[in-house]
Chain A
Amino acid sequence: MSKARQSTIRASLVHLALVAYTLVALFPVFLTLVNSFKSKQAIFSQPLRLPTPSTFSLVGYETVMKQGDFLTYFQNSTIVTVVSIFLVLLFGAMAAFALAEYRFRGNTLMGLYLAIGIMIPIRLGTVALLQGMVAAGLVNTLTALILVYTAQGLPLAVFILSEFMRTVSDDLKNAGRIDGLSEYAIFFRLVLPLVRPAMATVAVFTMIPIWNDLWFPLILAPSESTKTVTLGAQLFIGQFVINWNAVLSALSLAIFPVLILYVIFSRQLIRGITSGAVK
């Protein structure tokens, strides 16, 4: 009886702590959303109030919809992000497996070589990178962005995935080898399913900087047809510095797609964990 009560108290304390941090995490986002639906005067006089019939206003969203082609921007961002994540996960997992599984001379060196990329921001290579893209005729294409983001995401993916792959049981792999599986089959059929949670984690980490990047869209693909959402929103802020309705609306709209992508990957993460693969 007292044990049950004790655990109820414990559970409520846990929830109390979690709810408290939830408030901290969500408050600024809440503020953005709420104010994007209010008139400008109301934003300033009562920033914390929910919109009332008298202060409710969609003028911000109307301005956003009139300006620029946000639907195309969303589409571009989505293509770039999804394709890059796929390539990062595939190439990254393969390389991580090679590093974690096989002993060959230069293994550590190769690991270090692939880790260099996490140490210098790729932005520093901009000029040479742009020259290369120009020479390859890739300027103002989504391919240029995908290549850059794949290269940018690989080091971290290899770093994290190889760490996780080292925890995969050798017995399992050796059993597979005895059953006559090729190394490729061992990788794709035995190891990959086991590191799915780690893959989902890497996917999420890779996604964030790609979706939110401002610099490379600006340099490599600034044309109207290849513009990404973040670049569009940034231009928007510049254009309407004092039109905060519009800025807040644009920011609110930019939150949703990335949230949806996250939810998709996090399902994958949960499925990976609960399917009992981790054994």
Chain B
Amino acid sequence: MNRTTLQGVLLASSVLAGVGVASAADVTLNIESWRNDDMQIWQEKIIPAFEAKHPGIKVTFSPSAPTEYNAALNAKLDAGSAGDLVACRPFDTSLQLFEKGKLEDLTGLDGMKNFSDVAKSAWTTDDGKKTFCVPMASVIHGFIYNKEAFEKVGAEVPKTVDQFFAVLDKLKADGTYIPMAMGTKDMWEAATMGYQNIGPTYWKGEEGRKALIAGTEKLTDEGWVEPYRVLAKWKPYLGDGFEAQTYPDSQNLFTLGRAAIYPAGSWEISPFSSAGLKLGAFPPPVAKDGDTCYISDHNDIAMGLNAASAHKEEAKVFLDWVASPEFASIYANALPGFFSLNSTPVEITDPLAKEFVSWRQTCKPTIRSTYQILSRGTPNLENETWAASANVINGTETPEAAAKKLQDGLDSWYKPAK
């Protein structure tokens, strides 16, 4: 098998090289990504900006759909037909690729000095010694709301949980708007926009997340069950038939102006701002006014180098550029809501994106609790959390039962280091 693989890689390289010889000695780099939404931005803004400065290197962006990306990429990497550059999912998905030798070690890349350890954490080995992807962006959770709806019922932007539910009650009593646009059909909305959005406030962000990894806290502890209890209370404020409401349904409800509040990730900013609505945003509410607020500021996307690439030198030139402030500024402004991880601050012009990023000053950031280490085994904590969150909102499982099931699943394979 090994010999065929090697043979395959060699042949693949020659094939790729053959394709590259389109114009004289130009080298063509292929980028694999799951961000098919960004196709236009790459083609019209990012790639031209790079090619203008680096004649002789051509870049093509060839994304696949997010749902198929991991499976397709793994198959292509195994067979040696993957592109030179690959978009990296955060944490274990990419770490495993690195450990299998599919991704190049990029620790020594010049541009890496532009990133803090926190920014690199999602693409660094457990011992913190090697980094294998250039961080590109993080996403922040919060709530986006329709200003007109709030004016209509005379609601203020809520700061505390009680105020939050008071606003929802007002909206429900008024009846013009569906108070909150979220469904449980696709499940990940419930987990990501629900549990991971409001949860850090209860488990105290990084503190709780690290305690969970260390084994000193359990998912059945108060800080982890309470967010489920709050989620269960969302049910009456969701639209009719929310059990069958999909993610695009929720997006459409909100952008058509039929819903008032949208539990969001910052990546929604650019599609939403084209809807012609007056929008605002607020961070997850806290228990008492004056309490520390926590936000999920999650490292989401990076770029790595295929270890089997035939054009590593050119690819590193590109990666160095991805690490530059110039790229950070183009990317963050072309895609408001994807916040640069570069240490050089980026001037953001989009008002909604500015609002989101301002929470970094007032609230304590954390990453999604299930992403690092805890989703390495089977059953997979992240995927189980999707089902649990959906069940809790649907009312088919109690918060306590859901938490217990998650902890039991985790216990079955995860032994925290003592």
Contacts and interface: CB of A to CB of B under 8 A. Distances in A.
A and B directly contacting (CB within 8 A): yes
B64 A235 contact: yes
B15 A242 contact: no
Contacts of B244: none
A137 B36 CA distance: 27
Most buried by B among A41, A135, A214: A135
Nearest to A40: B256
Looking at chain A's contact residues, is the secondary structure mostly helix, strand, loop, or mixed? Answer: helix
Contacts of A28: none
B247 to A, nearest CB: 8
Contacts of A136: 11
Most buried by A among B62, B72, B81, B256: B81
Interface in A226-270: 234-235, 237-239, 241-242, 244
A24 B118 CA distance: 56
A235 B64 CA distance: 7
A238 B66 contact: yes
Interface string A150-175: 00000000000000000000000000
Given A131-B4, A239-B37, A223 B62 contact: yes
Looking at chain B's contact residues, is the secondary structure mostly helix, strand, loop, or mixed? Answer: helix
A127 B248 contact: no
A140 B255 CA distance: 39
A134 B252 contact: no
Contacts, number: 82
Interface in A30-71: 40-41, 44
B271 A131 contact: no
A219 interface: yes
Contact of A239 (B14, B39, B248, B255): B39
A218 B68 contact: yes
Contacts of B81: 130, 133-134, 139-140
Contacts of B64: 218, 222, 235
Most buried by B among A127, A219, A223: A219
Interface in B244-280: 247-248, 251-252, 255-256, 271
Contacts of A44: 252, 256
A130 B15 CA distance: 14
B8 A131 contact: yes
A214 B68 CA distance: 10
B78 A130 contact: yes
A72 B109 CA distance: 40
A126 B75 contact: yes
B76 interface: yes
B80 interface: yes
B15 A241 contact: no
Contacts of A239: 36-37, 39
Interface of A: 40-41, 44, 126-127, 130-131, 133-137, 139-140, 214-215, 218-219, 222-224, 234-235, 237-239, 241-242, 244
Given A127-B75, A135-B4, A222-B64, 9 more contacts: A130-B76, A130-B78, A135-B7, A140-B15, A214-B68, A218-B64, A218-B72, A219-B76, A241-B247
6 smallest CB-CB distances across A and B, nearest first, come from A130-B79, A134-B8, A238-B65, A238-B36, A131-B79, A242-B251
